[in-house]
Structure 1
Amino acid sequence: MNTPDPQALSLLVRWLLGWWLCLPMPALAELTPVGRPQVSVLIPARNEALTLPRLLKALQLQSLQPLEVIVIDDGSGDDTAAIARAAGVKVMTSTPLPPGWCGKNWALQQGVEQSQGELLVFMDADTEPAPTFLAKLVANQQRHGGLVSVQPFHRTEKAYEQLSVLFNLVGLMAVPLGPRGGVAFGPAMATSRRDYDQIGGHASVAGEVVEDWFLAHRYEAAGLPVSAFLGTTNLAYRMYPGGLRDMVVGFDKNFATAAGEVRWPWMLAVLLWISGLIWAAWCLPAALLHWPMVGSQALAPNLLLYGAYALQLLVITRRVGSFSWINLVFPVPVVFFLGVFLLAIFNLERGSISWKGRQIPTR
């Protein structure tokens, strides 16, 4: 009787972990709001002249019309404020950043203080909501309570944007989604004003770069539920349309500041899956080009392993973003992912990173 190959079994377990990690990723439920909720939509914007028009137009088409839309201009050097005024929404100019505050947090804190709605919806300027999104988000907040957020579907246009596939996927694999999952996504969040005031608002996370993660902690500490869902067909965005450098710096910023917040059971499972992916990314080229490698250099098993991971990526990324051909050449985004990870470690040690003209602390 043949003894099972320990290496093959190990790789099979790691591949299966990928499917398991992607099972609990529910989309925003198809719910209808109760009553006639008064909703304030707050949008922090710093140099968002290219992205803001799409969001403001989409908000005009919502099936649930908000009481007000407030754009908080956070020191923009472009036409952000003029575009918002032309769209007929309320525009605020953020006052100078106080010591210890991050720009987005300060902008939103000011916006809330000037808003009137009983429900607060925070949306990033680059988000693209479907016509029924706001109604579904509000209805889900009414059902679940506390803080409800949505991770947008990542819409890609240019080739370099496909390189972000692993950042999008790993970011979702590493956290528990669904009702009371305990994690929040900053691009779109909804909460009642009462709950927001109870946790101390954005003032309670004034200096946190990844404010969504820390807001989730504040809600949980106050005994309030925190729920998160996928955007799928309800909410999309195009991340970092400004080019490859912006994308590297953006992911680097999030990597360096959020890595310590991931819960270790999920992190361990994700690391095991990634190690299998890296193994598969190396073994097929190594077998073809006779590079050094551990294990069999036979082409067939390494081709099978490569194909299994490519197929898995094609399937599990369909609900995350418009990633296609990049999954067939996944060693390329693997190298990109590892490179940004190493850069994030460097910036973590350095203590800061430059983002949109500001120095952002990474500690």
Structure 2
Amino acid sequence: MIDLLGISLLVRWLLGWFLSLRMPLLPEASLSQVPRVSVLIPARNEETTLPNLLAALNRQSVRPLEVIVIDDHSTDRTASIAMECAQELPITVMQPPPLPQGWCGKTWALHNGVRASHGEVLVFLDADTEPLPSFLERLLAKHQTLGGLVSVQPYHRTEKPYEQLSVLFNLVGLMAVPLGQGSGVAFGPALVTSRIDYDRSGGHAAVAGKVVEDWFLGHCYEQAGLQVSAFLGLGAIDYRMYPGGLRDMVTGFGKNFATAAGEVRWPWMLAVLLWLSGLFWAAWCLPASLLGWPMVGDPALLPNAVVYGAYALQLLLITRRVGRFGWINLVFPIPVLFFIGVFVLAILNLERGRVSWKGRTFSTRDRARTA
């Protein structure tokens, strides 16, 4: 029994290494010819994050033709802050018409932003991203090589202790999908496409009611016969997810899980679930051995400490490409409990058929916005 359990845990632990193998970084590259680039930034109540992005864009090695900030009916100083930066960058601040039935706020904002833009290449950046000076050049160079839709998942910069709890959401989200050239995966925080390919795919009008629009936009590109590629942003672009506090983080991850879980390809999902089952067991085994709780297998301290240490080491090494996660990996039962709790909340959101975000209520089913 113990031998079988040990073999099973070893297989699950090795699956973690396998799932982390295909996580390529956005490569270093230079442009021989700079295209006319429109940078589009959807922003709803982003007065604290938008200044960092605009300052980072002003330091880029490649200067865009225009930067369009689409103020999604913010109730804070988002629009005025963007206007204050207009002397340093070619910034246009616009507000789309009132949100119509069947659209989500972000898709409606970007749809209208594209219609107002003039560049031959479109770069979409979330307001909380912070690109390093070479980012635009590297992104555009990769797009010139691959075409289609190219996206980058930013490196998650954590600053407060509660942000460390997100480690498993960041990691599982990347483990559950193939990355690299032609992966079919798209990450919403940073994307680039030509205007011709955008129109060919149907653009954001084709994913109007999707809360997690990046996944479905990638599907639209593939259906149009266009390549979809994705890379990690370590050393190229950062972001700080949910700086507004623990409640925002719980709501945000719950929203994403509730709407995107069904889009993961089942072989990848099965592998991730097997790895997670080993991680969950490892999170239980050491405390159970120390405190005499019920458990399957040998209750001796040494073998359970070895299993625990093996998973802690794996997390420490794998997450270095994903974000700034350190000490939390040594006490991984804590983020395991957080992960399970938010996952249960996501299931409840699926049952209710709706989720709230930034003052709006969205459907988690096929139909779009409900309020």
**Shift of the alpha carbon at 1:147?**
0.1
AA of the residue aligned to 1:214: F
C-alpha contact (below 8 Å) 1:147/1:190 kept by paired residues: yes
| Aligned partner of residue 122 in structure 2, secondary structure | strand
Q: Give the letter aligned to residue 64 of structure 1.
A: V
Query: Residue 57 of structure 2 corresponds to which residue in structure 1?
Result: 59
User: Which residue of structure 1 lines up, in the alignment, with residue 187 of structure 2?
Assistant: 185
Structure 2 match to 1:40: 38
2:260 and 2:246 map into 1 onto residues whose CA distance is: 21
Separation (CA, whole Å) in 2 of partners of 1:226 and 1:243: 33
1:50 is aligned to: 48
Provide the rounded CA distance (Å) in 1 between the counterparts of 2:362 and 2:26: 32
1:31 Cα offset (Å): 1.4
Return the letter of the residue paired with 1:92: M
Question: In structure 2, what is the equivalent of residue 134 of structure 1?
Answer: 136
Matched residue pairs, number? 361
1:308-334: per-residue Cα shift (whole Å, max 9, x none)?
Answer: 000000000001000000000000000
Matches within 5 A, 1:124-203: 124-203=126-205
**Structure 1 residues not aligned, in runs of 5+:** none
Match of 1:252 in 2: 254
Identify which of 17, 20, 23 aligns with 1:19.
17
Q: Secondary structure at the match of 2:293?
A: coil
* TM-score between the two structures when normalised by the length of structure 2: 0.97
Amino acid at match of 1:362: T
Note the C-alpha offset of 1:360. 1.4
Q: CA deviation at 1:160?
A: 0.2
The AA in structure 2 aligned to 1:259 is A
Indicate conservation of the 8 Å contact 1:256/1:347, yes or no: yes
Instruction: Answer yes or no: is the 8 Å Cα contact 2:2–2:297 preserved in 1.
Output: no
- 1:268 maps to what in 2? 270
Which residue identity does 2:244 align to in structure 1? G
User: SS of 1:182's equivalent?
Assistant: coil
The letter of the residue matching 2:199 is: D
Distance across 1 between alignment mates of 2:32 and 2:68: 23
In the TM superposition, 1:181-330 aligns within 5 A as: 181-330=183-332
Letter in 1 for 2:179: L
Q: SS of the counterpart of 1:335?
A: helix
Check whether the contact 2:38–2:122 (CA below 8 A) recurs between aligned residues: yes
Q: Shift of the alpha carbon at 1:95?
A: 1.1
Separation in 1 of the partners of 2:2 and 2:247?
A: 46
Q: Distance in 1 between matches of 2:12 and 2:130?
A: 35
Is 1:239–1:247's contact at 8 Å kept on the other side of the alignment?
Answer: yes
- Aligned-partner residue type, residue 157 of structure 2: R
2:146 alignment partner AA: H
Aligned 8 A contact 2:2 2:298 in 1: no
Contact 2:143 2:192 in 1 (8 A): yes
Separation (CA, whole Å) in 1 of partners of 2:243 and 2:142: 30
Question: What is the alpha-carbon distance in structure 2 between the residues aligned to residue 341 and residue 267 of structure 1?
Answer: 15
Distance, in Å, in 1 between the alignment partners of 2:140 and 2:27 is 11
**Residue 4 of structure 1: how far off its partner (Å):** 8.2
Q: Displacement of 1:152 after TM fit?
A: 0.4
CA contact (8 A) 2:185 2:228 kept: yes
Contact preservation (8 Å) 1:34, 1:142: no
1:121/1:191 contact within 8 Å kept: yes
After the TM superposition, which parts of structure 1 deviate over 3 Å for at least 4 consecutive aligned residues?
A: none
Percent identity, aligned pairs only? 71
- Deviation (angstroms), 1:32: 1.3
Amino acid at match of 1:189: L
Contact 1:180 1:225 in 2 (8 A): yes
AA paired with 2:64? P
Distance 1:4 1:164 in 2: 33
| 1:68 maps to amino acid | E
CA distance in 1, matches of 2:335, 2:23: 22
Q: Cα RMSD (Å) of the superposition?
A: 0.8
Matches of 1:31 and 1:319 in 2, distance apart? 19
Q: How does 1:334-353 map to 2 (within 5 A)?
A: 334-353=336-355
Q: TM-score, normalised by structure 1?
A: 0.99
CA distance in 2, matches of 1:361, 1:122: 24
How far the C-alpha of 1:34 sits from its partner, in A, is 3.4
Find 1:90's aligned residue among 76, 89, 92.
92
